Structure 1
Amino acid sequence: MAHSTDQQLSEDTEIRAVAAERLTFFGDAVVAIALTLLALELPVPEGSTNSELWDSATDHRDAYMAFAISFVVIAAHWRAHHRVFRYVTSSNRLMTSLTVYWLLMLVITPFATDVIGGDGAFQARFIFYAIVQFVACVLFVLMLREIGRAALYRPGTPPDLLRGAMRRMSVVAAGFLVSIPVALATEWAYLCWILVPGISAVIFGARLRRSGGDAATAATTETFTDKD
């Protein structure tokens, strides 16, 4: 009887591990598609002379800037996903659902990029893009929280990995959220996407220096299974 139970547990563990691996591969594939769609939507400059070609490229500068921003955003998501999911060895229904919705936001990003790169109606275009990115960040944070709550990670995983990733992604989400009301007053709202994470990094670094590294030491002693 005990042997049968152990065998069943082993089979369940293997099935969950395969599910986690397939989910990771699926995420990588969708991110690759999203990045490809970004490039396909880039406008091609036209002109028969160098001057005309340059003028055409200049006319499309907003679209090129939107592409660069979206590429950095999607790449940041992929880096965080790669950093964490190489330690994930199991999955569950909630984790799968959160991942699918997160990937949906990344797939929508090329469309949102076209929207924000258009002419006129700056506030509406900007806010739509910021909301898509904010939701993507929140979903990723929820994925990280579920990994910790359900202990979906392998033994020997760095104790501070999830908390660090959650902190960084939460700061990025805050940057997009703060930019929404700012966009109602000025087109310089783009700076929120840089300033909020930058200021957060400076403050966090200053706290670590003041504490003599105690904060970093404390973080490495925490476990992922903290339910707070």
Structure 2
Amino acid sequence: MSPAEPEEPEGEAAGHVVFRRESRGLEFDRVTFFTDAIFAIAMTVIVVGIGHPVLTNEDDAGDLAGELGDLWQEVFSFFLSFLVLGSLWKAHHQFYGRIVVIDSGLIWLNLAYLAFIAFLPFPTDLLGSYAQNPLAVAVYALNVGLVLLLELAVLERASRKGLFRRPMTPETRRWALIASSVPALVFLASIPVAFLHPTAALYSWLLIFPLVMVVRRLRPATAQEGA
């Protein structure tokens, strides 16, 4: 069996490169593997923000318990970001499972998306250290909000350019965009709230779950995603 030749991009002369899943798939897979690697690194690096306990008496369990208790904000920010990144990766994985073509525009949007994924450990560290500081909460919310807006942009481009295995109907597309916009709006709306009450802004992120459930219940059967 001869070695697979490099996949030739389509439309390169026009400046619009297209890679199809149905071909040898090397370039298509490189995009997904690169994305998975960025997610894996970000999900690992966020744990670095959890500080190391400093004990006056290394044999005192009470001293260690007190130091560990002081780290609760950092532990909370780690698990929050792990949940956020895990949810984003799952959605990204499902999205790429439904498309058969990647074009140059989608690659650039994906790179912008991944830039903010890679940046998330920094606001995670800020939030873990200064959870009651309104700016720390706002920076975290802005980072996640921008990731979610770019996720919307990726979905919109894939739908508009016909990159899905089965094209979305206008109704399916509209409801998919509505459902995807809810988390972005919640995070972005929490930014001004953070400057009034940081804790309230943190709790406001929980609104995502009931709001997404409401959207799913309101979405008609004819608008179910089937791309």
Alignment match, 1:75? 86
The structure richer in helix per residue is 1
**1:190 alignment partner, one of 193, 202, 208:** 202
The Cα RMSD (Å) is: 2.9
Shifted more, 114-123 versus 139-148: the winner is 114-123
Relative to the length of structure 2, the TM-score reads 0.79
Any unmatched runs of 5+ in structure 2?
A: 1-7, 12-17
**Correspondence 1:45-194 to 2 at 5 A:** 45-47=53-55, 48=58, 49-119=60-130, 122-155=133-166, 166-187=177-198, 188-194=200-206
Q: Is the 8 A contact 2:45 2:121 kept in 1?
A: yes
CA distance in 1, matches of 2:53, 2:174: 44
Q: Is the 8 A contact 2:131 2:137 kept in 1?
A: no
Q: Does 1:16 align with 2:14?
A: no
Relative to the length of structure 1, the TM-score reads 0.79
Q: Is the 8 A contact 2:171 2:223 kept in 1?
A: yes
Alignment match, 1:218? 222
Any unmatched runs of 5+ in structure 1?
A: 1-9, 208-214
CA distance in 2, matches of 1:205, 1:119: 35
Shifted more, 144-153 versus 40-49: the winner is 40-49
2:201 partner letter: A
Alignment match, 2:3? none
Alignment match, 2:39? 31
Partner SS, residue 43 of structure 1: coil
Query: Percent identity over the alignment?
Result: 26
CA distance in 2, matches of 1:173, 1:36: 24
Q: Is the 8 A contact 1:101 1:139 kept in 2?
A: yes
